[in-house]
Amino acid sequence: MLYRSHVMVCGGTGCTSSGSDSVADAFVNELKKNGLDQEVAVIRTGCFGLCELGPVVVVYPEGVFYSKMKPEYVPEIVEEHLLKGRPVKKYLFGETVTEEKIKPLEETTFYRKQERIVLRNCGIIDPEDIEEAIAMGAYEALGKVLTTMTPEQVIHEIKKSGLRGRGGGGFPTGQKWDFAYRQKETPKYVVCNADEGDPGAFMDRSVMEGDPHAVLEGMAIAGYAIGAEHGVIYVRAEYPLAVKRLQIAIKQAKEYGLLGENIFGTGFNFDVEIRFGAGAFVCGEETALLNSVMGRRGEPRPRPPYPAVKGLWEKPTIINNVETLANVPAIINNGSEWFANIGTEKSKGTKVFALTGKVNRTGLIEVPMGTTLREIIFDIGGGIPDGKKFKAVQIGGPSGGCIPEQHLDTKIDYDSLISLGAMMGSGGLVVMDEDTCMVNVAKFFLEFLVDESCGKCAPCRIGTKRMLEILDKITSGKGEPEDIDRLEELATTIKDTALCGLGQTAPNAVLSTLRYFRDEYDAHINQKKCPAGVCQALLSYTIVADKCRGCGLCARNCPVNAISGQLKQPYTIDQEACIKCGTCFEKCPFDAVVKA
Amino acid sequence: MRPVKTLEDLQKIREEASRKVNVRSDRTGIRITVGMATCGIAAGARPVMMAILDELEKRNVKGVTVVETGCIGLCKYEPIVEVYEPDQDKVTYIKMDPEKARQVVVEHVINGHPIKEWTLESADIQ
Amino acid sequence: MDKVTVTIDGVTVEVPANYTVLQACREAGIDIPTLCYAEGLNEIGSCRLCVVEIEGAKALAASCIYPVANGMKIHTNTPRVRQARKVNLELILSNHDRSCLTCVRNTNCELQNLANRFGVSEIEFQGENIDYPLDNVSPAIVRNPNKCVLCRRCISECQNVQNVFAIGAVNRGIKTLVSSPFYLSLNDSPCISCGQCITVCPTGALYEKDHISRVYDAIADKKKHVVVQTAPAVRVALGEEFGMPVGTIVTGKMAAALRRLGFDVVFDTDFGADLTIMEEGSELIERLKYGGKLPMITSCSPGWINFCEKYYPDFLENLSSCKSPHMMLGAVIKSYYAQKMGWNPEDVFVVSVMPCTAKKVEIERPENMHDGLQDVDAVLTTRELARMIKEAGIDFVNLPDEDFDQPLGMSTGAAVIFGATGGVMEAALRTVSELVEGRPLDKINFEEVRGLEGVREASVTLDGMELKLAIVNGTGNARKLLDKIRSGEAEYHFIEVMGCPGGCITGGGQPIHHPNEMQEVRKLRASAIYKADENLPLRKSHENPAIKQIYAEYLGHPLSEQSHHLLHTHYDQRPLYRFTHKV
């Protein structure tokens, strides 16, 4: 059945939680009511990226973009747009509506600077219909490698493309495959690391939800390259939608003979199973992941031996992350040269980022390596809300680092980020404005890591806890000058001696804030002040006599009776009694209460 | 279920399936609008629309979008079908029926020969 | 083995290619500090004290698990290395209950030694410490998580060596804890009380349940006749606690020390061992003759019995019904001997000095009670006895040798060798052969059943019949063997199982050495055991005159009704988990 129009309702996790399911249902019902259900299709897709504006609906063929949809808007859109052909401007994303025309989604500033390889089909296809994926070219790369290439050629092609692991470390993918390919031991395994655990990161989830076949195809190609017939996707159980779509995709791919036995009649067999993780951050570390897959306690083991030599069930295993694998079919289809032409000298291709925090357009983006942070935050992300000043961007998840204003024009790739004291990580970008206390930020990320440390090696288990205790001390106004030295001593040792990559990078948040925002630490310790006004113990509230009209509202609302004065006279706050709850600050109608 | 045994099998599925999704990516080809205001619907625009869609699918036509539009003020000529070709003047067909619509798809959209006698211009001349 | 050349602190050395950096350094004369590492047992690189700098590597490497490579340049004493080791040690110390003075492992603690070696004078990184309750529900083993350094040797021992799986790491981060599943007490876990965890613990986080005070109470009680007995393996290990070389036989000094501690009568568990051979040997002959359940499996090791009841209940009928030697002797002391002495059994307090922690559980088994009395009232480990001797200020090394009291201190070499793996088998063969064949043995030693390998097979001909034998030590090895029997892959007539690797000489109650030294310790103690055997005039249980006497005076004959009543027991399947105590 050919439909003249397609209503694409985002079915990613972000939009689903803001109610896109009921929007989709409303479209289905309303179209039926208007007798349009034979002409207009409603399709639930993966993530479009602009999660801030969800639920997102895009209507084709025009490609117009309705943002923040509600079921109650649907009847009007069906009546006006789908029946009469007049897009309903008031529900469209404002930026797309101009005097002369309505711009389609891809012409928005959010999309214009992006280059979508990994997210090529996200928001474009129905991820639960393999034929839509095939329509976009899925499994052609697999067919190509199976029928025209040797495993060596595949590995060579991936090596030439310069693809590096997108999960954190940035290890060259082709080299990893080559190690595993050279192992004599069989069986071998391909493991897809879908244990995305950084707070605020949802790149891999979106790929699995929006284009699961890209992952499966990448795994099968990897399997062919290294000589594996079995693939495992290790995905966290907190990603139910991703799991469901993967399960559907695996089932359909098997039905179509694109997974299973004798694929493309070449004698190559490859099957994929899903293993669930319970959400421990450390299980993203490859050896911990393998332990978890095997039903053991999810904690890292020393390397060597590397998984390429001794991995799952002690057999040669490659572990690639979702985004890495999703790049593979595109590289095979378009050639390594095409891929190597995108990006920087040592970091090729694109990178998907989850853009969150104090930025106007939060969401999922994909940009060529070498794009600057300024472009991402200010062009794609639309800058900082409420006219606030940018302070820093935290990149690479909890083990990453904070990058300040002066480095915003750095072209980002694996190596430039490391030299800035951060890391690519899996691609979380948290933007912070001037109201952010960087000591507090370091504390936040360290708190996460202390909680998520597996507890195996002493420096990470105890050292991170001790660092957190020192940060606690500093933010509660009890810091001593020696605490900085202690932090640095601990950070150095943890970085130098922790058992796994997670432990070794755990001090990064502290080290990078110490590097760029040492003055904030000094202010906390020496002046007992939090410059951003975040650390409650370091705040003090005072009443400016000139502004105070003596209304007494503050005194009446103070929960500890710390404010006294006479009506029509300026009031004062007893600093000893004040618990710094901020009630007076909020209640004062004349802005006479100031915090500092 | 259609098991894929060869690369050709995959291509075949791709060709068929891509017609389903072309509407989302191709905005450069021919656009056909069908007047779907009350006047149009009353005059029988819906069967016309369905015939166009059906013919496009049957003949595996790619790159054509079909859009509904409101009343353009020529109610007495409904059902009206307009064909927009890139870099060409639009052609407005009037008083269409399903059979005529199918012929427009074949002659005009596929073969590139507008059917002059059914256009608004020829009506004006008359 | 291929060799590689590495440079350690500027000195070039050639080492086997399969060496770790630690092995290479130690061979080059540099003693890298370690805490979690135990060769072959626990190679997990968790404490990070053994870090070294390897040129070209980003981070420091844990030498204990890092393989050498040709041309590798290693630095073991740079400022970076020194700081990292010290910070990590201080971190471990910062989260450790540092009550060394009152710790059972004071002066024999690896952490204490390291703190000493590093000259730690203050703990710079103070903070919140773990604070978990003591698990002292088990009758045998106490777990103090606050002294645990999470080296995980105990877990490796429990899981990989003993295959018991009673403990593992639970929680994560700073809250990580070695515990049984669901925070159950060890007592409610699959724990078999073998105590091997204690012997590998570098600190005082694991130790035996103390019986010293109840023993002192009994000694102080004028009404009580306190009778002590000592297991074969104790006499070849006790001296180590007083600085004597491993493998020194101190039987005479031990007897002397026990008298000085105030025990009224000093007997020898070896008598019980001879008695066991009489009963167990006869049981084997009977099973062979009358088609009883085969293979028959020995029952001297209570850790093994616990393991069988929990994991292999389908083999319970294969177990010999004999009580273990000290339980037999306890039963005899409270009946035969008490009667002889005119004592009320209720006033007799029997203390066993054992190389074992599982014996502390065994004495409480209700099926071993007679008229509401336990056969044995207290079990002291070798370590506990040493503590008592030290506390009493007895100059152990210079004590004169004294003999056991009679008649239940009389024993043969067959009993002594119970202490080593294969010993029970050999002792049984000495007696069974003579009983069946009716003529003296050509040679007393059955070398074919000796050795320290985990699983050994042998066969002997008995009256024209080939007897297929197996000897295993360590419950992990027992599991392997029983699985083979279950699957029909293997078939035997008689099997000796000792719950602890090496048998009683390295039981859970013995003096503690670093796990890396254990193989050597096992060898030395075992050879001491066989030397003690050679030194004795009588070397076959049935030749023990006191044994002949007790059968004549009291028991009648082996497997008699009286024997069954006093010397035999039965076994029941036991659940792996019970849910009575959470800690």
Give me the DSSP letters along A71-137.
Answer: GGGHHHHIIIIIIT----GGGB-GGGB-SS-BPPGGGSHHHHT---STTTTTTTS-TT-HHHHHHTT
Contact A257 B4 (CB under 8 A): yes
Evaluate whether C319 touches C308 at the Cβ level (below 8 Å): yes
Q: Which residues of B touch A35 (CB under 8 A)?
A: 46
8 Å CB contact between A136 and B19: no
Query: Taking CB atoms and an 8 Å limit, are C59 and A451 in contact across chains?
Result: no
**How many residues does the structure list for chain C?**
583
**Chains A/C: 3 or more C-beta pairs closer than 8 A?**
yes
How many residues are recorded in chain B? 126
Q: A394: which 2 tokens?
A: 């935290």
CB contacts of A457 in chain C (<8 Å) are 45-48
Quote the CA–CA distance of C146 and C337 in Å, as a whole number.
46
**Does the residue B3 lie in any domain?**
no
Tell me the residue range of the domain where B53 lies: 28-125
SS3 for A337-383, per residue? HHHHCCECCCCECEEEEEEEECCCCCEEEEEECCCEHHHHHHHHCCC
Task: Tell me what the mean pLDDT of segment C126-152 comes to.
Answer: 94
pLDDT at B107 over 70: yes
CA distance B111 to chain A (A): 20
Domain count along chain B: 1
Contacts (Cβ under 8 Å, ≥6 apart) of B119:
B91, B92, B93, B94
State which amino acid sits at residue C556: G
- Which residues of C belong to the active site? 280, 283, 300, 320, 359, 362, 367, 504
For residue B10, tell me if it sits in a domain: no
* Chain B residue whose CA is closest to A39: B50
C487: Cβ contacts below 8 Å, ≥ 6 apart:
none
Q: Which residues of A touch B59 (CB under 8 A)?
A: none
Q: Which two tokens stand for residue A312?
A: 């799952």
- Answer whether residue B6 is part of any domain: no
Whether A540-595 and A5-112 are alike in CATH topology: the answer is: no
Instruction: Give B-chain residues touching A254 at CB under 8 angstroms.
Output: none
* Degrees, nearest 5: CA angle C550-C553-C557: 65
B42 touches chain A (CB under 8 A): no
Three-state DSSP class for C301?
Answer: coil
Please work out, in degrees rounded to the nearest 5, the angle formed at the alpha carbon of residue C465 by the alpha carbons of C461 and C469: 60
| B 61-80: CB under 8 A from A | 65-70
Question: CATH topology for C212-567?
Answer: Rossmann fold (3.40.50)
Scored b (16 or more CB within 10 A) or e, C517-528 reads: ebeebbebbbeb
Q: Do A458 and C66 touch (CB under 8 A)?
A: no
Contact assessment for residue A333 and residue A148, using Cβ atoms and an 8 Å cutoff: no
The verdict on a CB contact (< 8 Å) between A493 and C125 is no
Q: Where are the CATH 3.40.50.1780 domain residues in chain C?
A: 212-567
Question: Distance between the two ends of chain A, CA-based, in angstroms?
Answer: 66
Taking domain A132-340, whether its CATH number is 3.40.50.11540 is answered by yes
Residue C484 — very low, low, confident or very high, per pLDDT cuts 50/70/90? very high
Q: CB of C66 within 8 Å of any CB in chain A?
A: yes
Please say if the pLDDT value at position C376 is more than 60. Answer: yes
Was domain A5-112 assigned CATH 3.40.30.10? yes
B67/A4 CB distance under 8 A? yes
pLDDT for A49 equals 87
**Tell me, what DSSP letter sits at residue C245?**
P
Q: Is residue B60 part of a domain?
A: yes
Chain C residues closer than 8 Å to A461 by CB? 150, 173-174, 176
Which other chains touch chain A, taking contact as 3+ CB pairs less than 8 Å apart?
Answer: B, C
Q: Best of A282, A301, A399, A462 to disrupt the C interface by mutation (most C CBs within 10 Å)? A: A462
Q: A458, C48: Cβ pair inside 8 Å?
A: yes
Rounded average pLDDT over C24-39: 96
| pLDDT digit string, tens, across residues A220-278 | 999 999 999 999 999 999 999 999 999 999 999 999 999 999 999 999 999 999 999 98
Q: Which residue type is seen at C60?
A: L
Element (H, E) at A8: strand A5-10
Interface confidence (ipTM) of the complex: 0.93
With beta carbons less than 8 A apart as the criterion, state whether C228 and C371 touch. no
Average the pLDDT over C63-76 and give the result: 97
For A555, residues 6+ apart whose C-beta sits below 8 A from its C-beta are A561, A563, A564, A565, A571
Backbone angles phi, psi at A573, to 5 degrees: -105, 130
Of C88, C152, C172, Cβ closest to residue A459: C88
Q: Which fold has domain A438-527?
A: de novo design (two linked rop proteins) (1.20.1440)
| CB nearest to A458's CB, from C47, C127, C169 | C47
Q: Token match 């200020």: residue?
A: C393
Does residue B113 lie within any of the structural domains? yes
C169–A contact, CB cutoff 8 A: yes
Per the listing, tokens 């595109």 go with A330
Listed as ranges, residues in chain A with pLDDT below 70 are 1
Residue B125's pLDDT band, with cuts at 50, 70 and 90, is: low
> Is the pLDDT at B126 greater than 60, yes or no?
no
- The helix or strand, by DSSP H or E, that contains position C380, with its residue range, turns out to be strand C378-381
Q: For residues A95, A98, A101 and A102, what is the CA-based torsion angle, rounded to 10 degrees?
A: 20
- Phi and psi of C485, rounded to 5°? -70, -45
CATH code of residue B46: 3.40.30.10
Which of chain B's residues have a Cβ under 8 Å away from the Cβ of A61? Answer: 23-24, 26-27, 31, 65-67
pTM for this predicted structure: 0.90
Question: Does C358 score more than 90 pLDDT?
Answer: yes
What's residue C46's pLDDT? Answer: 96
Residue B93 located in a structural domain: yes
Kindly state the average pLDDT of the residues C428-451: 92
**Residue B121 confidence (pLDDT):** 81
Q: Which CATH class is domain C121-207?
A: alpha beta
Distances (CA, A) of C283 to B84, C289, C560, C561: 104, 10, 11, 13
Judge: domain A540-595, CATH 3.30.70.1290. no
User: Which numeric CATH code is attached to A350-433?
Assistant: 3.10.20.600
**pLDDT given for residue A573 in this prediction:** 94
Q: Is residue B16 part of a domain?
A: no
Length of chain A: 596
The C-alpha angle with vertex C362 and arms to C192 and C227, in degrees rounded to 5, equals: 140
Kindly give, in sequence order, each residue whose CB lies less than 8 Å from that of residue C550, ignoring residues fewer than 6 positions away.
Answer: C275, C332, C336, C407
Residue B27 pLDDT > 70: no
Angstroms from A251 CA to nearest CA on chain B: 11
Q: What percent of chain B has pLDDT over 70?
A: 93
Q: Which chains touch C (3 or more CB pairs under 8 A)?
A: A
**Residue in C44, C59, C66 closest to A301 by CB:** C44
Cα B95 to chain centroid distance, Å, stands at 15
d(Cα B37, Cα B75) in Å, to the nearest integer?
A: 9
Contact assignment for B49 to A265 by CB distance below 8 Å: no
The CATH architecture of the domain made up of C3-77 is: Roll (3.10)
Q: How far apart are CA A555 and CA A541, in angstroms?
A: 13
Task: Give ranges for CATH 3.10.20.740 in chain C.
Answer: 3-77
Best probe of the A interface among B23, B56, B60, B69, by most A CBs < 10 A, is B23
Mean pLDDT of all residues in C73-90: 97
Alpha-carbon gap: A145 to the closest alpha carbon of chain C (Å): 37
Model pLDDT for residues C180-214, shown as the tens digit of each residue:
999 999 999 999 999 999 999 999 999 999 999 99
**B105 — phi, psi (to 5°)?**
-60, -45
- Interchain contact C455–A (C-beta under 8 A): no
Q: Looking at the predicted structure, is the pLDDT value of residue B38 above 80?
A: no
- Residue spans per domain, chain A: 5-112, 132-340, 350-433, 438-527, 540-595
